[in-house]
Amino acid sequence: MPWSKSNYPDAMKNLGSSTREKAIEIANSLLKEGYEEGRAISIAIDRAKKKKSFLYLFHLGA
């Protein structure tokens, strides 16, 4: 099931909006690649958080 800004997994409810949007995008891509929902959700949350941290550090270094 593809997710959206208004319909996303409970596991994403405590993420900030920009991180959640990225996690939704990643999770939907993983589903298209054949990942199971649970695995797609956990990978997507992890990757979205890492991307946010990377962008924050990169911005501070600029």
Let me know if residue 44 belongs to a domain. Answer: yes
Is residue 5 in some structural domain? no
What is the 8-class DSSP label of residue 18?
H
Q: Is residue 3 a part of any domain in this protein?
A: no
**H-helix or E-strand spanning residue 42:** helix 37-61
Q: What is the pLDDT tens value at each position of the chain, 62 positions in all? A: 699 999 999 999 999 999 999 999 999 999 999 999 999 999 999 999 998 776 666 665 54
8 domain residue, yes or no: no
Residue 4 lies in a domain: no
What pTM value is reported for the model? 0.84
Q: How many CA atoms within 13 Å lie on the side-chain side of 36?
A: 2
Find the domain containing 20 and state its range.
14-61
Residue 2, domain member (yes or no): no
55 sits in the region (left: phi over 0; alpha: psi -120 to 50; else beta) called alpha
Is the Cβ–Cβ distance between 52 and 22 less than 8 Å? yes
Given this model, what pLDDT does residue 56 score? 61
Q: Is residue 30 part of a domain?
A: yes
